[in-house]
Every structure is written in structure tokens, then in C-alpha cells.
Amino acid sequence: MKILVCYKWVPDEVDIVVDHASKTLNMDKVKYKVSEYDRNAIELGVSLSERNGFNVESLTVGTGVKASTKDVLARGIEKAYYVETTELDSSASAKIIAEAAKKIGGVDLIICGEGSGDQYSQQVGPRVAALLDYQLVTYVVAFTADGDAFTAERKLEDGIEVVKVQGPTVVTVLSDINIPRIPGMKQILAAKKKPSDELTVTDLGLNADQLAGGFKVTHVGPSIQDRKQIRMNANGESVKEAASSLVQQLKANKDI
């Protein structure tokens, strides 16, 4: 059985600086990392490989993603595939992943994080399942395999649902499922000897028209809340007078 773990190479939020004056995000010094939920997906794929002897490979799509392959290979992935392309929406990313899975061949299980660390659209996994006509299991917090049959626990609002599926499946996992391993020096050095292959959009038989997004992001900014810092009872006023003053200020500012 072959497992394909899909992950996203995202900006590390700790490096993002907020410019309060222009209400923009300064990304000049941002480093990139494997998305947090996707680390759980990688851990699940590797642990299934260790327990069941499955072949586990990875795939990522995006800009500058070749640099990410060393990280995932150090985490136990056997072979890494990557597609270098411009920023895409969930629909286009899913098309590339689906075609890449066909190109790689023999993929029985695709594991994704429930959402990416930047956009968290939660769309890629379900879209890939639809495009490939695979079974789909979302919100997974526990997962086991028995041959080509899988048992998953799904964390829902009102409890845990246990489902069993058979045949090619796409799984999206939550962070509750495991604790991702931290690669040691031995694993980091071993990763340099593992294979990684680039797939191009052309290799996958796709063109710009097929990957054109249905919407365009024109601006990404931080959530900034301006505080008025109104002081109550500053001049020894009574509570009644201070409350009356506050109401008048709020009315003047059209806050009430």
C-alpha cells in the first residue's frame, strides 16, 4: 500500500510584523515552515508505515517548496515530490495534487491536514477526493489500517463518530491525532540521501486556464482594534456623573 501525505509550506507567523500605520503585514524577514496540521498528517503517514510496512511519500505545491523536502524527509517520509508554481487557490491546488497522485501511481491513501496554517480553507482534501473519486474522511483524531480497510474516529461537535472505509481514501486530520516527532541529527543527515523529484504543471497535463482561480486576493491585512482609552471618574466624579459622561461620549462617537 502506498500513502501520499500532502502538506503546505507556509510563512512562520512568528516572523510576521504588523505595520499599524498602513494596516499591512510586513513579510520581508519571514521564514517558512511545514504547516502545523500537516506535521500531524506526516506523523500519521510515517507511523502507519512503521506499523504496517506501507510505503509513505509526500507532495507539496507552491513557491520555493523545494526547500521543504529536507524537513519532511527527516520526519520519516521515504520520497518527496514537489511542484513549483505561483500562489494558487484551493481549487487549483487540488487539481495539481489529484493529477500528481495519478502520475505517481498506486496511491491508496492520501493524508492532509484539516486546513493549512495560512488560509485554513479546509477545501483541498475534499476537493482532491472528489477529483479522484476516492472515499473521504474528515476531522480525524484516530486512524488505523487493516490491509486495505481503514477505521477512523471523527471529532464532531456532539461527540466522536467511528467510521470504516475500504479502498482508495482521502483523510484530513486534526492536531489531536498525534504529537509530531522532532527529527534528530541522525534523521536530518539521513534525509540528504533520500530521493526528491520535481513534477511540473506541464508534466501533469495542466495549463494556466485550468488553474485560473475564481477569485483574486487584492489585500491581506491584520486585524487591528483601536482602543479609545476613555478614563472613568478621572476627576473624582461620582459614578452617576461618570456614567452619564461616558454615555454622552459614546453617543458623540456614534458607538451607541
Q: What is the predicted pLDDT for the residue at 220? A: 72
Grid cell, residue 57, equals 511519500
Rounded to whole angstroms, how far apart are CA atoms 140 and 120?
16
- Residue found under cell 513549483: 84
Contacting residues for 92 by C-beta, under 8 A, at least 6 apart: 210, 211, 212, 213
| CATH code assigned at 19 | 3.40.50.620
pLDDT in tens, 207-242: 877 887 677 777 777 776 666 666 776 677 788 888
In this predicted model, which residue has the larger pLDDT, 147 or 7? 7
Collapse the DSSP code of 94 into the 3-class scheme (helix H, G, I; strand E, B; otherwise coil) and give the result.
helix
| pLDDT exceeds 70 at position 113 | yes
C-beta separation of 198 from 84 below 8 A: yes
Same domain for 200 and 140: yes
pLDDT value at position 2?
95
Q: What is the mean pLDDT of residues 94-122?
A: 91
Q: For residues 168 and 200, state if they share a domain.
A: yes
- Number of domains forming the structure of the chain: 2
Q: Are residues 71 and 44 in the same domain?
A: yes
Helix (H) / strand (E) element for 18: namely: strand 17-19
C-alpha grid cell, residue 8: 503546505
Residues 250 and 138 in one domain: no
User: Within a domain: residue 60?
Assistant: yes
Domain assignment present for 220: no
Mean pLDDT (the chain) is: 89
Cell of 168: 482508495
Domain with 197, as residue range(s), is: 2-211
Distance, CA of 70 to CA of 80 (rounded, Å): 9
Do both 253 and 205 map to the same domain?
Answer: no
